Amino acid sequence: MNVLILGSGGREHAFAWKISQSSLCKKLLIAPGNAGTSKIGENINISLNDFNGIKEICIKEKIEMLIVGPEDPLVNGITDFFKDDEKLKHITVIGPSKKGAQLEGSKEFSKKFMSKYNIPTAKYKSFTKDTLKDGYIFLESLNPPYVLKADGLAAGKGVLIIDDIEESKIILEDMLINRRFGNASNTVIIEEYLSGIELSVFVLTDGVSYKILPCAKDYKRIGEGDTGLNTGGMGAISPVPFVDRFFIEKVENEIIKPTIKGLRKENIDYKGFIFIGLMVENGNPKVIEYNVRMGDPETEVVIPRIKSDLLNLFNGIKNGSFSEIDFNISEKYATTVMLVSGGYPEKYIKGEKISGLDKINDSTIFHSGTLKINNNLITNGGRVLAITSTGNSIQESLEKSFNNAEKIKFKGKYYRKDIGFDLI
Ligand code: AMP
Ligand code: GLY
């Protein structure tokens, strides 16, 4: 089978790494990819939202399966674009329809969906510029801190958590009236603050049945001890020690089943991943958000724990045999530590030379932001390399990742040295 993966991060490198091991894979293309993916497949330099350009490649390369990494093309309707095109409709797209992608693309849509299908989540109300005053009244009815969310995609910056009531009113006004996040904040969700431990649960579905993938914990803040600015993710661990069979059963019954049922009831065509961001307090899970893709860097620990052939599972989605395919997960722990450019998540420099990859042993390196120029490997993003290791304990696995993190050199290199410590 000829496969095209869309995206350029560690997540897509991990997909490519896994799919390249499948006997079903004949040709593997990644668009645009990075220096890591270029070693296992062919990179195609094209923008993720250039649907016509992607169409041309799919026709030329006789692509049979398209795997969409990031949310943007999904929210922009790439799945519908393929389904509605005579020359593309035979291609299976792993990623939901535009309507399904609203689960991530519109917080209001996802909150309404959750309340309609009785899926546990924080209490909320949504407001527009015409109901700003009602927003103030709702804020006053809540206890601090106050959670304000732009309805639409805002490059991961649309969620604000504010301690002070007066400041939260000013920010609400800034979002609705001054359009702080452009169209994304035409509607703002105000919701109850949830405390507890965050956990990422992943599901792969053909729209009817589903497989629960390994769960993971992500480390979002830049600084050790979970301090400083939010990033895309500085590391991840899978499995998460407090997650046992009983807890997963609870998540399955209270969240996963009603989600799949809700998608069907809404007539939403959903073939792909559902990433459920949970807050867990006293063993009770509540949904913070849905994403319609895999997480990054969570994928870099989830994929290495999947023993089954991922492309065979995708093929099952294509030919209707998905529910019958065995799904096996390794018992081992997987950890990933992200090396980032100095300054990230604020301003940082690209183009620094990377060395030391030849000295790595016992870890798998997934490239996040790298580029190869004249045989030199250089940094090409805030997040640069994810160092994934496996072991019989979190400690054993982390030790390998941290050892190898030291061996890789580039100017400004930074990583968190406390990934996973809260779980040991
Ligand atoms: P989201 O984009 O909805 O995942 O929000 C980004 C981050 O904000 C989450 O990963 C949480 O850490 C935090 N967050 C979002 N909603 C809440 C909430 N209701 N209570 C507490 N923290 C939240
Ligand atoms: N690591 C969080 C995300 O992918 O959204």
What was the pLDDT predicted at 205? 98
Residues enclosing ligand 2, CB less than 6 A? 218, 232-233, 291, 295-296, 298
> Distance (Å, rounded) from C-alpha 81 to C-alpha 76?
9
The number of helix segments (H) and strand segments (E) in the chain equals: 13, 22
CA-220 nearest atom, ligand 2: 1
- Which residues of the chain carry a pLDDT beneath 70? none
Q: What is the pTM of this model?
A: 0.96
What was the pLDDT predicted at 157? 82
Cβ neighbour number for residue 226 with a 10 Å cutoff: 13
CB of 288 sitting under 6 A from ligand 1: yes
What was the pLDDT predicted at 155? 82
Residue of the CA atom closest to atom 5 of ligand 2: 295
Residue of the CA atom closest to atom 2 of ligand 2: 295
> Distance (Å, rounded) from C-alpha 43 to C-alpha 36?
10
Six token digits for residue 235 = 């590391």
Beginning with the edge strand found earlier in the chain, give each strand of the sheet holding 284-291 in spatial order: 210-212, 197-205, 272-281, 284-291
What was the pLDDT predicted at 156? 77
Summarised one tens digit per residue, pLDDT across range 278-329 is 999 999 999 999 999 999 999 999 999 999 999 999 999 999 999 999 999 9
CA-293 nearest atom, ligand 2: 4
289 CA distance to ligand 2 centroid (A)?
Answer: 11
CB of 191 sitting under 6 A from ligand 1: yes
What was the pLDDT predicted at 398? 98
Summarised one tens digit per residue, pLDDT across range 152-207 is 998 878 999 999 999 999 999 999 999 999 999 999 999 999 999 999 999 999 99
Which residue in 205, 211, 207, 323 sits closest to 269, CA to CA? 207
